[in-house]
């Protein structure tokens, strides 16, 4: 039974997810965690995410288990008119529809916003390049988005190939933007009775978050350069048991860190208080500082710097993340409420005190809820 303490913020909202991408799936997963009833429409062979590695011993896709959790599954063959008609009925009766289709694909299936004839509908498009413009029909993925957004131009070392952000970061960022925009459009619908389309382009999401490199290029008139070598001014450096990132942006960060590392001449010389001076003369101290850091274990160094309120971060491995005391005490790692024996998942990236984000169920089987959802007819 739902109580005010565990009622989701989007309780009573129905979402139909017709998307086939990680970005779309993450958008609807966030909405589901906020209490929405999310129905994912899957083709006969299952959602494309179900075929993504890595796979568990039973052959289940780990990404699918994570991204399709908390949803109900309807299996429809949308290549036939009867299946398409069922998709249209589901979409027209929803509060939010999530789509990753191109404009021409929606037109061919008569699944455009206007075709659904639902004035109060919020239709969220999450595509690589958006629903308008010369690239609207062009496919893309996280690799091409990283390239076209500029992110690849600053990732990696100078003289080597550009790198994209790890895994599906573009998709996850776009999914978050899509979920937030959907809730904003829903708020407007509830206040004024008017639905609308939300157009989220993954390239624009990543270009819009391409700071400070893009801002520096705009306002300083120079192109950002990738580092020629990795040192303390650019990123994590070795310590006794791994790697460690040390931020030295403020004068007291520098002073207290240098004293802890037993480098009093660097700590007390007033010239080093200026971050600009430190950037210009980094060759004079980086080797000394990094050598002193190699005598420390990363968590010991972090604890001592935290006492001094110096911003720093140990590079945690996957196993260390799972065992991290801070994340454990905050309840970040969660299991589905209906299956406490299921593997743990990463929890919500935010906390709501009255309507907490929740993980209720594991990912459904393909078409598990087809028969139980009203007004859906499937070709025999």
Domain ranges of the chain: 14-210+332-346, 237-314
Q: ∠ CA 186-199-122 to the nearest 5 degrees?
A: 25
Q: In whole angstroms, what is the distance from residue 178 CA to residue 255 CA?
A: 43
**136-174 confidence digits (pLDDT tens):** 999 999 999 988 988 888 777 777 888 888 889 999 999
Q: What is the pLDDT of residue 20?
A: 97
pTM: 0.89
Q: In whole angstroms, what is the distance from residue 305 CA to residue 222 CA?
A: 34
> pLDDT band at 378, cuts 50/70/90?
low
> pLDDT band at 279, cuts 50/70/90?
confident
Q: ∠ CA 32-112-27 to the nearest 5 degrees?
A: 20
Q: What is the pLDDT of residue 213?
A: 72
Domain 237-314 bears CATH identifier 3.90.1150.10: no
- The answer to whether 25 and 19 have CB atoms below 8 angstroms apart is yes
Q: Is the peptide bond before 118 cis (omega within 30 degrees of 0)?
A: no
Q: What is the pLDDT of residue 4?
A: 42
**27-75 confidence digits (pLDDT tens):** 999 999 999 999 999 999 999 999 999 999 889 999 999 999 999 999 9
- Pick from 325, 352, 322: nearest CA to 334: 322
Residue 1 has pLDDT above 60, yes or no: no
Domain 14-210+332-346 bears CATH identifier 3.40.50.10540: yes
User: Bridge partners of 182?
Assistant: none
- The answer to whether 199 and 131 have CB atoms below 8 angstroms apart is yes
> pLDDT band at 348, cuts 50/70/90?
confident
Q: What is the pLDDT of residue 191?
A: 97
Residue 375 has pLDDT above 60, yes or no: no
Residue indicated by tokens 């959602």: 47
- Pick from 262, 290, 260, 258: nearest CA to 271: 258
**190-236 confidence digits (pLDDT tens):** 999 999 999 999 999 999 887 677 777 777 777 677 777 777 877 89
- What is residue 55's three-state secondary structure? strand
**250-266 confidence digits (pLDDT tens):** 899 999 999 999 999 99
């Amino acid at each position: 039974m739902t109580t005010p303490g565990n009622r989701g913020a989007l309780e009573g909202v129905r979402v139909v997810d017709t998307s086939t991408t990680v970005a779309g799936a993450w958008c609807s997963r966030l909405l589901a965690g906020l209490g929405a009833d999310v129905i994912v429409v899957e083709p006969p062979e299952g959602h494309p995410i179900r075929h993504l590695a890595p796979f568990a011993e039973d052959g289940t896709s780990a990404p699918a288990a994570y991204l399709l959790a908390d949803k109900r599954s309807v299996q429809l063959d949308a290549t036939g008119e009867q299946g398409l008609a069922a998709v249209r009925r589901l979409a027209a009766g929803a509060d939010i529809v999530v789509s990753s289709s191109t404009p021409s694909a929606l037109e061919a299936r008569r699944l455009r916003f206007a075709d659904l004839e639902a004035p109060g509908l919020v239709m969220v498009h999450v595509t690589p390049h958006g629903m308008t413009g010369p690239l609207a029909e062009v496919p893309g993925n996280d690799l091409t988005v990283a390239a076209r957004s500029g992110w690849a131009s600053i990732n990696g070392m100078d003289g080597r190939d550009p790198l994209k952000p790890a895994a599906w970061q573009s998709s996850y960022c776009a999914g978050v933007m899509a979920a937030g925009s959907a809730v904003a459009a829903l708020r407007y619908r509830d206040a004024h009775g008017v639905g609308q389309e939300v157009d989220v382009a993954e390239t624009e999401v990543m270009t819009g978050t391409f700071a400070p490199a893009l801002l520096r290029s705009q306002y300083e008139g120079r192109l950002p350069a990738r580092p020629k070598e990795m040192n303390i001014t650019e990123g994590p450096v070795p310590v006794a048991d791994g790697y460690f990132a040390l931020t030295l942006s403020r004068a007291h960060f520098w002073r207290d860190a240098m004293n802890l590392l037993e480098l009093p001449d660097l700590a007390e010389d007033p010239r080093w208080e200026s971050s600009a001076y430190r950037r210009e003369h980094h060759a004079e101290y980086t080797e000394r500082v990094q050598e002193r850091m190699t005598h420390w274990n990363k968590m010991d160094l972090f604890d001592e710097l935290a006492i001094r309120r110096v911003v720093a971060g140990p590079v945690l491995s996957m196993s260390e993340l799972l065992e991290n005391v801070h994340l454990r005490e905050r309840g970040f790692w969660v299991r589905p409420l209906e299956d406490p024996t299921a593997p743990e998942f990463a929890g919500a990236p935010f906390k709501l005190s009255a309507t907490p984000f929740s993980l209720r169920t594991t990912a459904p089987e393909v078409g598990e809820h087809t028969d139980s959802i009203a007004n859906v007819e499937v070709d025999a």
